[in-house]
Amino acid sequence: FQPKWLAGRKVVLTAGPTFEAIDPVRGITNSSSGKMGFALARACAHAGAQVVLVSGPVGLPTPFGVERIDVASALQMRDAVMGRLAGADVFIGVAAVADYRPEASAEHKIKKSGEAMTLTLVPNPDILAEVAALPEPPFCVGFAAESRQLDAYAEGKRRNKAVPMIVGNLVQDGLGQDDNLVVIYDDDGKHPLPRGGKMGLAQRIVEHLSGRLGRHPA
Ligand code: PMT
């Protein structure tokens, strides 16, 4: 039984990695599996929300009742998110978006030359920060994936990106895995959750989120 904490709400989420093409066969990506973001999309749908899930390249089935948009690059993810935000009450950025992309993607496969090669990278837009900076933003939830100093870095990202709530995790605790260990940070401080499966954690995060939206569970 799942209380309908998000009934009548529209939630837009991102999940998975992005893929930044170098040429038609190569690219820059990371090892996000999409499991955390897909679990959250599912938990939001179970809680009664209308859910739009913008996903990078992952091998996961679409959760029941969720509208899914597949993208590859950060630029495509940004466009898909911005195009779906109308009427959204909540935006949750779970995707591991590449901070940089190759300045240019070669039209044809780059041939081996035996010489050293330099790849010039340019910054990608920060989707979460852009959504949070909209004139009337939805309630924004970020994630922070760190390899150390979780409290300092996660809270720093919450402030820098001007989002009310961020979910921090250490990559060694959850990236690519079925379980995770997360801490929620908001205006009231830090709220550690016990280690557990991503679906159970997603339900706890939705419960916390609904409280922040002013719809406290009974
Ligand atoms: O996919 P799994 O294998 O289940 O792993 C889950 C996870 C570890 C990927 C997930 O729990 C997680 O931490 N996701 C955020 C990963 C990340 O890229 O964090 P970050 O600290 O680099 O980014 C901070 C926030 O800004 C995130 O909400 C991110 O989506 C967002 N961001 C970052 C860069 C960018 N260019 N645009 C963004 O929107």
For residue 46, the model assigns a pLDDT of: 97
Task: Report if pTM > 0.90.
Answer: yes
205 CB contacts (<8 Å, ≥6 apart)?
40, 43, 141, 167, 182, 184, 193
Q: For 93-146, what is each residue's pLDDT tens digit?
A: 999 999 999 999 999 999 999 999 999 999 999 999 999 999 999 999 999 999
127 in a known ligand binding site: yes
Task: Return the half-sphere exposure (C-beta side, CA atoms, 13 A cut-off) of residue 110.
Answer: 16
ipTM, 2 decimals?
A: 0.99
Q: Where are the domains of the chain?
A: 10-99+121-212
For residue 138, the model assigns a pLDDT of: 98
69 in a known ligand binding site: no
Among candidate residues 108, 95, 100, the one with its CA nearest the CA of residue 141: 95
99 lines ligand 1 (CB under 6 A): yes
Q: For 5-59, what is each residue's pLDDT tens digit?
A: 999 999 999 999 999 999 999 999 999 999 999 999 999 999 999 999 999 999 9
For residue 214, the model assigns a pLDDT of: 82
Among candidate residues 40, 97, 45, the one with its CA nearest the CA of residue 71: 97
For residue 63, the model assigns a pLDDT of: 98
Distance 215 CA to ligand 1 centre (A): 26
Architecture of domain 10-99+121-212: 3-Layer(aba) Sandwich (3.40)
